[in-house]
Amino acid sequence: MSPQSKSRKKKQGKAPGRRPQQQSPYAPLLESAAALRSESWLLAESWASELFGTLWLGAWRFEDWSDAFASEYGRMIEALGGIERPEALTALRALAGVGNGDLRALVTGVANELAARGVAEPDWYTAGAVPVFRDAFLVTNLLGDVEVIAFTQDRAGVAETMMFMRQPVLGATSIELFSTPDEGTSALLEDMISSTPQAFRNVITPLTAEQVFDRLWPDVDQFWTDGPDEEAEEGLLGDEEALHPVQLMALAEARVSLLVPDDYEIPAISPKRTDEVVEAFLASQHGIADVEAARAFARVVASAAVEQNRDPVAYGPASLTAVLIMNLAARLHISDEDLALLPEIARAWAHFTVEARDLPRAEALEEWDEELPTVLAEFSEAYADPELAAERDGQFRE
């Protein structure tokens, strides 16, 4: 038998291997969303807000960060809309409650299309339910430099409270979200006052929906415009002690925007208020021999407040420090003689604001006198900063 006539055996090679299944880049997101299906709307939107903040932080490093964020967010929403699984719809329903109105409408549309294909809704979802304002309250510290605003909205029979801690000029410093207690919204503020003795006045002031919007919407806008600070990334690491606004700002934007109609405009303080307050300060017993120096100082701080849409007498140590740095140290050249007068003028201004706001006089004056050395020290440090010195293009005295 010739070799050619022998039957040939196939070589024993390796069986064709299966291609490894490529995991979706959204698999961790879907796994996380799956755990939210039987939770609450409140928890789901909190989750969505943190996801939003994470994507925003990631986009900020790009020069065209707004386009980078929109592109990444759009890809995520499109991908979720193509996954016919309940956890994908859960993620979309949660994301439909955060960010601006255009984004919420976009996500809602994608979610509705997915639901129309028979995908099961999360347990907490009720079609058409929108948070409706119920009540709101304000608490401040003695000099009004720290404000805590708690506002409650009802949705699908559930009351939810958002609590902002903010500082005039500086904006929001923390945001928290609560399932409203049976005792009501103010119970949250009562607990806060009692747990931090002497930090806040024991005065709880009701606010309208418009008054909440007037205070909080500029903070939302300022946050997205200014960009993340050094603590923003740390605030997304899951540490319960880190209540950075980046965690809930996207949800806050949605909730605050629902407080007023789309055509609502925040009332503007008249520029005339600057002149009124400057003249009232000069007419007070300020005790400054150099009236023109007192006038120059009062005009700077009063006009700065009006530009920020704040009443010029609504100053405390933190807001005064911020304005002295941003509007004096960074903008105006001040003579040595006027620098020497500033401590006396600043003290007179601080005492004037106490009288103008009808605060508890003895307590408020004592607190100002305790805080002013720190205020002036921070201003002096800023004024000596070479970088700020290079930015100055004006004069303290006109």
- Per-residue pLDDT of the chain in tens (398 residues, 90 and over written 9): 333 333 333 344 444 444 444 457 899 999 999 999 999 999 999 999 999 999 999 998 888 888 999 999 999 999 999 999 999 999 999 999 999 999 999 999 999 999 999 999 999 999 999 999 999 999 999 999 999 999 999 999 999 999 999 998 889 999 999 999 999 999 999 999 999 888 999 999 999 999 999 999 999 999 999 888 878 877 776 555 556 899 999 999 999 999 999 999 999 999 999 999 999 999 998 788 999 999 999 999 999 999 999 999 999 999 999 999 999 999 999 999 999 999 999 999 999 999 999 899 999 999 999 999 999 999 999 999 999 999 999 999 97
The dihedral over CA atoms of 363, 364, 369, 372, expressed in degrees to the nearest 10, equals 150
Cα–Cα distance measured from residue 105 to residue 103, given in angstroms and rounded to the nearest whole number: 5
Torsional sign, CA 85, 91, 93, 95: negative
Say what angle helices 41-60 and 86-95 make with each other, to 10 degrees.
80
Q: What's the length of the chain?
A: 398
> Nearest-CA neighbor of 361 among 193, 148, 202, 142?
142
The dihedral over CA atoms of 33, 40, 52, 266, expressed in degrees to the nearest 10, equals 160
Backbone angles phi, psi at 180, to 5 degrees: -55, 130
> Nearest-CA neighbor of 144 among 312, 315, 311?
315
Predicted TM-score (pTM) of this structure = 0.88
Cα–Cα distance measured from residue 44 to residue 162, given in angstroms and rounded to the nearest whole number: 15
Cα–Cα distance measured from residue 346 to residue 38, given in angstroms and rounded to the nearest whole number: 57
> Nearest-CA neighbor of 300 among 342, 247, 267?
342
> Nearest-CA neighbor of 293 among 328, 339, 250?
339
Contact between 95 and 108 under an 8 Å Cβ cutoff? The reply is no
Residue 342 CB coordination number (10 Å): 19
Cα–Cα distance measured from residue 4 to residue 17, given in angstroms and rounded to the nearest whole number: 32
